[in-house]
Amino acid sequence: MAKQPEFPEGLEFLKLAESVAAKCGDHTDLHLPQMGKSCPECLHNLGTMLSILYKLASCHGHCRGGDHLIEYILGRTCSTALSALSLLRQGYYDEALSLARSIGETANLLTSFVKLPSRLQEWKGADARTRLRDFSPVKVRLTLEGAKVSPPVDEERYRRLSSTTTHVSPSIQPQSHNIVGIPTLGAVFQDIGAMVSLNETAWATGWAGVAGARLMKLPSEEYSRIKGIAIDLLASVGGVTILKSEEIRSKYRQKMAASLEGTDEA
């Protein structure tokens, strides 16, 4: 019996992991832009929105002065979304979705500042303990709902993102974004995982971007353009989201089972 080669450790393991992730990235770059109609549109629109957020965050072209707090928040949103896309490329979908959840928290917070302007000043003046108490993700969502405003990331979406990709539980199955639900260690292209990660990142980023731009009190023409781009981005988000992924996998499994039964009968 042939001796199994030793599994690499140290720097050699890191190099191996990087090599496998790079191959997954190449595969993603090839296939994701060709997956249906919504994925290419969503990628394009997300790229445009992130370009805008990058420019707003870095005062590209002009600086409005002040404390730059909204610019800093939009800068973090941009870098988090770019990180999510990088993880998506490499097949680390759980981690990409965890970052999408973080952007969703920002989207809800910025939306609350738009709809309830006094909340921004309260948030800026609060100490750490007060912010944790009065501006936690749950409290922000409940505040929006109490004001009859639909949160960009509602309770169901946030719960799915948390239970699937963030919180450790006895039912955890890492990177199992495939039809048969097989867990992986990442760096394996999974079409459902790629689409869910893209759509959730785009959804949260679109809402965060338009709310942040509104808070910056930009010239009306500039804000209108950004709002239009955000609408295009949100409209291009496909139906394969964290809310539908399990349902879609279940339907695929049923089709596979039906096909196998037909083969047995033949």
Locate 128 and state its tokens. Answer: 């750490």
CA angle 69, 56, 218 (to 5 degrees): 85
What integer pLDDT is reported at residue 91 of this predicted model? 97
The confidence score (pLDDT) of residue 166 equals 79
Distances (CA, A) of 140 to 61, 100, 147, 232: 33, 17, 11, 26
Name the residue with tokens 């199955």: 173
Domain ranges of the chain: 40-257
Rounded CA-CA distance 69/113 in Å is: 13
CA 33 to chain CA centroid, Å, is: 17
140 touches 109 (CB < 8 A): yes
Q: Among candidates 180, 218, 201, which has minimal Cα distance to 93?
A: 201
Q: What is each CA distance from 82 to 85, 205, 227, in whole angstroms? A: 5, 10, 20
Are residues 38 and 45 in contact, defined by beta-carbon separation less than 8 angstroms?
no
- Which residue has 């023409």 as its token pair? 221
Q: What is the number of H-type helices and E-type strands within the chain?
A: 11, 0
Tens digit of each residue's pLDDT, the chain (266 residues): 677 788 999 999 999 999 999 999 999 999 999 998 899 999 999 999 999 999 999 999 889 999 999 999 999 999 999 999 999 999 999 999 999 999 999 999 999 999 999 999 999 999 999 999 999 999 999 999 999 999 999 999 999 999 887 778 887 889 998 888 889 999 999 999 999 999 999 999 999 999 999 999 999 999 999 999 999 999 999 999 999 877 777 776 676 666 666 555 54
Residue with tokens 């709809």: 115
Q: What does the block give as tokens for 240?
A: 């394969």
Which token pair is 241? 């989201």
